[in-house]
Amino acid sequence: MARRYTVVTLFPDLVRDAMTHGVTGRAISRGRCKLDFINPRDYAGNTRGSVDDAPYGGGPGMVMRVEPLRASLDAIKSGSPAPFVVGLTPQGRRLDQAAVLDLARHPHLVLVAGRYEGIDERFIERDCDAEWSIGDYVLSGGEIAALVILDAIIRTLPDVLGDDASAAADSFCGGILDWPHYTRPARIGEQSVPDVLLGGDHAAIARWRRKQALGRTWQRRPDLLERIALEQSDLALLREYQREARLAEGDATRDC
Ligand code: 9D3
């Protein structure tokens, strides 16, 4: 069965519109997944009629009330199994590709996007199965976080990316950064495409790319390298890159 994604949000149009483009839009129009929305505003109820209220204890901003959110979950007509409910907050665990692959396993995922200062903690505690953040920066609400997560999940689903190679490359390269990419023309002023890419030696090209990927990860994201065990052949490529980088560094210093 196609995967189902429900976003609980005060701004369904924001999320829906963004999802109609590119890979995600095609996945939806081709029926690889279904996307629907619940607006807590429609479940604000008669008692208070609002989706937010002032925080107990005082302070700035408003807090999203539990009842419209709970009523939203109740309104999600879901078969079995029960959907997996994810609260999106700055306090959640920080998303990475491993988390994305894990979330992608659920047949029905509900993403709850908060607005205002936050969501009443009792909803997170009682009604959510997990709480995720997409990173350490401040957004205006959970909608863009929901988009990020949906985009990342949907491209991992079978038959969603144009060719299997791209999907395989995503998961295979997971762990280290990409090598540099080039397309025509081969020369733009003094900027030239590396010679090895212009020749037809596919083994040499593969070796160069792997070396660049390892080297750039070492330079830019040493934290990623620490998490993976490198093969002997990779270690040799990385040493080669490091030796060349130090030589270039020496040249640059002499130039000064
Ligand atoms: C002053 C304390 N702020 C918390 C860090 C207030 C606050 C900022 C932003 C409260 C809510 C929000 C709205 N952000 C989200 O809903 C959100 C979010 C984010 O801001 N960054 C990364 N991931 C996420 S997921 C949801």
The residue whose CA has the least distance to atom 5 of ligand 1 is 90
pLDDT at 192 over 70: yes
Per-residue pLDDT reduced to its tens digit, 33-48:
999 999 999 999 866 7
Instruction: Look at residue 36 in the predicted model and tell me its pLDDT.
Output: 97
The response to whether residue 118 sits with its C-beta less than 6 Å from ligand 1 reads: yes
Instruction: Look at residue 173 in the predicted model and tell me its pLDDT.
Output: 54
The dihedral built from the CA positions of residue 175, 85, 93 and 41, taken in this order, carries a sign that is positive
pLDDT at 219 over 70: yes
More confident residue, 5 or 168: 5
Per-residue pLDDT reduced to its tens digit, 128-154:
999 999 999 999 999 999 999 999 999
**In the chain, % of residues over pLDDT 70:** 96
Instruction: Look at residue 217 in the predicted model and tell me its pLDDT.
Output: 98
CA distance 193 to 202: 16
Per annotation, catalytic residue among 170, 194, 234, 240: 170
Whole-prediction pTM value? Answer: 0.95
CA distance 131 to 133: 7
Q: State the pLDDT confidence band at 174, using cuts at 50, 70 and 90.
A: low
Determine the atom of ligand 1 nearest the C-alpha atom of 116. Answer: 11
For ligand 1, the distance from its centroid to the CA atom of residue 82, given in whole angstroms, is 27
The response to whether residue 119 sits with its C-beta less than 6 Å from ligand 1 reads: no
Cβ–Cβ under 8 Å, residues 60 and 36: no
The response to whether residue 114 sits with its C-beta less than 6 Å from ligand 1 reads: yes
Report in angstroms the alpha-carbon separations of 46 from 7, 42, 53, 77, 115: 23, 11, 15, 22, 21
- Ligand 1 binding pocket mutation candidate from 63, 89, 137, 144 (most atoms within 8 A of CB): 89
Catalytic-residue membership of 155: yes
Phi, psi dihedrals of residue 5, rounded to the nearest 5°: -125, 125
Mean local confidence (pLDDT), 110-133? 97
Instruction: Look at residue 162 in the predicted model and tell me its pLDDT.
Output: 83
Instruction: Look at residue 18 in the predicted model and tell me its pLDDT.
Output: 98
Phi, psi dihedrals of residue 79, rounded to the nearest 5°: -75, -160
Catalytic-residue membership of 170: yes
Q: State the pLDDT confidence band at 196, using cuts at 50, 70 and 90.
A: very high
For ligand 1, the distance from its centroid to the CA atom of residue 146, given in whole angstroms, is 13
Instruction: Look at residue 221 in the predicted model and tell me its pLDDT.
Output: 98
The response to whether residue 139 sits with its C-beta less than 6 Å from ligand 1 reads: yes
For ligand 1, the distance from its centroid to the CA atom of residue 154, given in whole angstroms, is 24
Instruction: Look at residue 48 in the predicted model and tell me its pLDDT.
Output: 74
Instruction: Look at residue 171 in the predicted model and tell me its pLDDT.
Output: 61
Q: State the pLDDT confidence band at 195, using cuts at 50, 70 and 90.
A: very high
Q: What angle do CA 35, 70, 99 make, to 5 degrees?
A: 50
Instruction: Look at residue 253 in the predicted model and tell me its pLDDT.
Output: 73
